[in-house]
Amino acid sequence: MASLLFNLRRKAGAALSDGFFTGLSKAGRLHPRANPARHGVEIIRDIEYLPTGMAEHRLDVYRPINRHGPLPVVLYIHGGAFRILSKDSHWVFGLGFARRGCVVFNISYRLAPQHPFPAAVQDVCAAYEFVVRNALAYGGDLDQLMLAGESAGANLVSSLVIAACFARDEPYARQVFETGVVPKVALPACGVYQVSDQARFARRRPNKISTFINDRLQEVEDAYLRRANLPAAHHVELADTLAVFESDLPPDRPLPPFFLGVGTADPLLDDTRRLQAALARRGVEVQACYYPRQMHAFHALVMLPQARQYWRDQFAFVERVLGRSFAAPAD
């Protein structure tokens, strides 16, 4: 009986959480300011980055309507606990970067539990190769390539950085490494950088993690690592990317600068602190910004003052690293 109640509680909580984020995205698209044309942005939808016919293997390109020369490129990877959401739910991020003068490749990927690890990593590696091959055709400059994503997407951003900078055995990671292209900036937000042992958050802050949140965190681990065929222990490192960053393994290519942003009320806060410390110990340029009392992925709610501050901080960092200015959109 206890097991049945536990499973019912988990399913009910998951349905509530999934419905909230999906509904929030759909409601946001109804706002007049969500119209890309109001921001001078056009969208090219549903481009296949893998010829499988699957919706999960498509991306949208967001770019300024009036373009002058190749523009900075953003490969955006959505969050959603590896289980939910898509490029369509994360339109606000494509729009947010494009209205500042970037060409954005906003991708979907296969989701757990139907497609557990390493499916998502395989897909983002394929998308990376697509962007490398096609960025110029869409008006992008690979010498200004940025990787961005939040939550689970931040994890996948970190896995792509590893694949680009470390010569690894996995065929999909090697696919990225062999492009020879290393991103100039990594922008992972409020990430989970160790998918295994999600109970660590509750152990670390037992009075801060509610049962509801703990269930959601455990779902991430259960769904993403389910049935994972891991012939060698090191293969899980592309789910637990902190295992690489916190190790003494030297990269084969220099790691790019990182901007890390997270709210102090985010249950995943500790992983950002760990990644910041690991990168700093390696001598990587890293700026971490902690936003007081802000929840998980707060920067998606672009009407909030702290969310707007996040975007300003992020672009100030990128401008300094790339040595160029970006459009300052009207709020």
Q: What local confidence, expressed as pLDDT, does residue 13 receive?
A: 47
User: With contact defined as beta carbons under 8 Å apart, do 126 and 176 qualify?
Assistant: no
How many Å is the maximal CA-CA distance in the chain? 65
**Does domain 2-322 fall into CATH 3.40.50.1820?**
yes
Whole-number Å distance between alpha carbons of 276 and 269: 11
Q: What local confidence, expressed as pLDDT, does residue 8 receive?
A: 45
3-class state of residue 205 by DSSP? coil
> Nearest CA to 193 among 229, 236, 163?
236
224: how many CB neighbours lie within 10 A of its CB? Answer: 27
Which residue pairs from 300-305 have beta carbons closer than 8 angstroms and sit at least 24 positions apart in sequence? Answer: 300/90, 300/92, 300/93, 300/150, 302/92, 302/96
Whole-number Å distance between alpha carbons of 179 and 170: 15
Whole-number Å distance between alpha carbons of 297 and 107: 18
Cα separation values, 109 from 60, 94, 181, 198, 284, Å: 12, 16, 21, 22, 29
Please report, as a single letter, which amino acid is at residue 160. L
Tens digit of pLDDT per residue, the chain (331 long)? 444 444 544 454 455 555 655 665 566 665 556 798 999 999 999 999 999 999 999 999 999 999 988 999 999 999 999 999 999 999 999 999 999 999 999 999 999 999 999 999 999 999 999 999 999 999 999 999 999 999 999 999 999 999 999 999 999 999 999 999 999 999 999 999 999 999 999 888 777 788 899 999 999 999 999 865 665 555 789 999 999 999 999 999 999 999 999 999 999 999 999 999 999 999 999 999 999 999 999 999 999 999 999 999 999 999 999 999 998 776 5
State pTM to two decimals.
Answer: 0.91
Q: What local confidence, expressed as pLDDT, does residue 174 receive?
A: 97
List, in sequence order, every residue forming a beta bridge with 58; answer none if it has no partner: 48
Q: What local confidence, expressed as pLDDT, does residue 2 receive?
A: 40
- Beta strands, E only, the chain: 41-48, 58-64, 71-77, 103-107, 140-150, 185-189, 258-263, 286-291
Domain spans of the chain? 2-322
Q: What local confidence, expressed as pLDDT, does residue 194 receive?
A: 97
User: With contact defined as beta carbons under 8 Å apart, do 182 and 254 qualify?
Assistant: yes
Whole-number Å distance between alpha carbons of 304 and 121: 32
H or E segment at 160?
A: helix 152-165
Whole-number Å distance between alpha carbons of 254 and 240: 20
